[in-house]
Structure 1
Amino acid sequence: MSQVIACIDGSAATVAVCDYSAWAATQLDAPLLLLHVLDDKRYPTATDLSGNIGLGSREQLLDELAALDEQRAKIALQQGHGMLESAKARAREDGVATVQMRQRHGDLTESLQDLEGDTRLVVLGLHGKDSSANPQLIGSHVETVIRTAQRPLLLTPASYQKPGSVMIAYDGSATTQKGVQMMAQSPLFKGMPVHVVMVDVDTVDNREKLMWAENLLKSHGHQVVTVLRAGEVEPTLHGYQTEQDIDVLVMGAYGHSRLRQFLVGSTTTAMLQTSTRPVLILR
């Protein structure tokens, strides 16, 4: 699990994806793979229209339609290669020593699954090419990738800001404790202040869970702030992030209790829709 993968699709977030990927690759001292996937549904490698009603006997029209699809796919491939070359040059300027490029036909989720064995982090835009014009829509592939990927995902907004602080949504469950352990041991946020935020009632048990997280992070050299607040999960987390001007929100893909409902329900979509800063999803 060595490389950082940047998913390049030509959306408004592509430049930010490249910059966040370069930052992550530098922090992790890892090679960077720039990945562009041509969706077979939009750019099929071969088109068979013979079964379409009304077209079966019109061979010339079928040939012309197939040729048009082939030309569209070829242009999309060339355009993707150009994006990858530009992203590679930008990553090199950002100081990444090892940058590779890869183009594939198929599905993004399946492509990432094929590459999981040598992946440390996947970076992709919150708003894909089809949703760039509407900030209230997350990319069509994002939710699927979140639910299927087995590697951490860094979801980026359309603009880049070098991270200087981070907060983790924490509920004291085994899943979020694992997330704290991953953060403590990873060089991704080395030297940054870490805010551990629990949205729940103020109890002795919750205070003890926060103290465990604080002690673990401090033992790995982090400056730590622990916070316990009541309220609804999404507005409370976003409110604290805005109040403290925190650059990156970290959460687990699946949790328990209140966070479980938050992370697997409609609130997840709301959280991502309203996020203007990167969100790191841990597995």
Structure 2
Amino acid sequence: MNESRILACIDGSAASEAVCDYAAWASLRLAAPLALLHVLEPVAGSAPADLSGSIGLGSRELLLNELAELDERRARLLREQGKLMLDAACERVRADGVAEPLLRQRHGRLVDTLQELESEVRLLVMGRQGEACSSAASQVGSQLESVIRTLHRPVLVTTGTYRAPQRVLVAFDNSPSVRKGLDVLLQSPLLRGLSIHLLMVGADTADSREAIEAARRQLHEAGFDTSAAIRAGEVEDVLLDYRREQQMDLIVMGAYGHSRIRRFLVGSTTTAMLQRTDCPLLLLR
């Protein structure tokens, strides 16, 4: 891949259909090419026990040969299974309107593979939970936090079934990362034409009102249909309650911080939202 793409992680789980649909949506909104990635990962502890000390030399050689043949056969079947997953995903995104998706199959750890491809990724799309179809298939769900902490690209985390976003909730805390994220959204066609709700969680002070109103004006002047609100309470509870009340289709928020203190504070909120959200999350870095 030699150009900025939408990259969708396909693992063959029930989450893969929504991943395909949201990735196609993002690809069409951004007019960016789409790549579908399936990673075959090594499985820790999958090697058979070494029994060679308790059997004869000839039997040992026969056993090792048989194990090598089994490993080769298993690897071939997993490659073929991965190809079938990618072919099915390709058909789905084509049906969604993406004409020429690129198919990629890699061997290794998912996080390492994504780090290698990071410079070519504009937006990463992953499912919140993965149910691997085989012991060596990519366990996307179990590695989601590690991927989000490691990569420095926006990540769209899908949940449930696809629903074309129309109403977007932006978790606004007036931090530099969120203000930078707003600047990126202003310049991006991804959310253009959608209704944007800014929500700040905390005390309704003069400073808070001034900050969120400035952000609302910025979006409004850029042509967005925007509203703003401040609510007190636990961050995750407030965000999720508001999402349900206002029927939001997508939540946008900052991801894990880099400093040790910020990683503890922001990271805990990100993790809780990943676990509890019932709609997709767009995590900005």
Q: Is the 8 A contact 1:233 1:259 kept in 2?
A: no
**SS of residue matched to 1:187:** coil
- Match runs of 1:238-257 below 5 Å: 238-254=240-256
Instruction: Choose from 15, 27, 30 the match for 1:28.
Output: 30
Instruction: Choose from 264, 268, 271 the match for 2:267.
Output: 264
**SS of residue matched to 2:170:** strand
- Match runs of 1:21-60 below 5 Å: 21-41=23-43, 53-55=50-52, 58-60=60-62
**SS of residue matched to 2:252:** strand
Letter in 2 for 1:263: V
Aligned-pair distance for 1:111? 1.1
| 2:101 corresponding residue in structure 1 | 99
Distance 1:212 1:69 in 2: 60
Q: CA offsets, 1:37-93, max 9 Å, x none?
A: 00022699xx7x6xx543355222222223222222211110111111111122112
Letter in 1 for 2:81: Q
Aligned-pair distance for 1:138? 8.4
Comparing 88-97 with 199-208, which one deviates more in the overlay?
Answer: 88-97
Instruction: Choose from 207, 227, 230 the match for 1:205.
Output: 207
Q: CA offsets, 1:179-236, max 9 Å, x none?
A: 1111222111110011111101011111111012111111221011111000000111
Distance 1:98 1:219 in 2: 36
- Match runs of 1:182-221 below 5 Å: 182-221=184-223
Q: CA offsets, 1:129-179, max 9 Å, x none?
A: 259xxxxx9811100001001110000013111111111111111111111
Q: Is the 8 A contact 2:256 2:270 kept in 1?
A: no
Distance 1:139 1:254 in 2: 17
Q: Is the 8 A contact 1:19 1:94 kept in 2?
A: yes
Change (3 A) 1:122 1:174: same
Percent sequence identity over aligned pairs: 48
Comparing 60-69 with 91-100, which one deviates more in the overlay?
Answer: 60-69
Query: Unmatched 5+ residue regions in structure 1?
Result: 132-136
1:15 to 2:17 alignment: yes
Distance 2:116 2:162 in 1: 28
Structure-2-length-normalised TM-score: 0.88
Distance 1:212 1:40 in 2: 50
Distance 2:52 2:282 in 1: 49
Distance 1:182 1:275 in 2: 23
Change (3 A) 1:121 1:78: same
Aligned length: 272
Comparing 267-276 with 236-245, which one deviates more in the overlay?
Answer: 267-276
Q: Is the 8 A contact 1:171 1:259 kept in 2?
A: no
| 1:165 corresponding residue in structure 2 | 167
| 1:71 corresponding residue in structure 2 | 73
Q: Is the 8 A contact 1:43 1:69 kept in 2?
A: no
| 2:281 corresponding residue in structure 1 | 279
Q: CA RMSD, aligned part only?
A: 2.4
Distance 1:169 1:109 in 2: 27
Distance 2:263 2:172 in 1: 11
Comparing 216-225 with 230-239, which one deviates more in the overlay?
Answer: 216-225
| 1:134 corresponding residue in structure 2 | none
Structure-1-length-normalised TM-score: 0.89
Distance 1:68 1:53 in 2: 15
Distance 1:211 1:270 in 2: 27
**SS of residue matched to 1:18:** helix
Query: Unmatched 5+ residue regions in structure 2?
Result: 134-138
Distance 2:168 2:262 in 1: 18
Letter in 2 for 1:268: T
Distance 1:153 1:87 in 2: 19
Comparing 66-75 with 203-212, which one deviates more in the overlay?
Answer: 66-75
Distance 1:138 1:119 in 2: 17
**SS of residue matched to 2:190:** helix
Distance 2:13 2:279 in 1: 17
Q: Is the 8 A contact 2:252 2:284 kept in 1?
A: yes
| 2:239 corresponding residue in structure 1 | 237
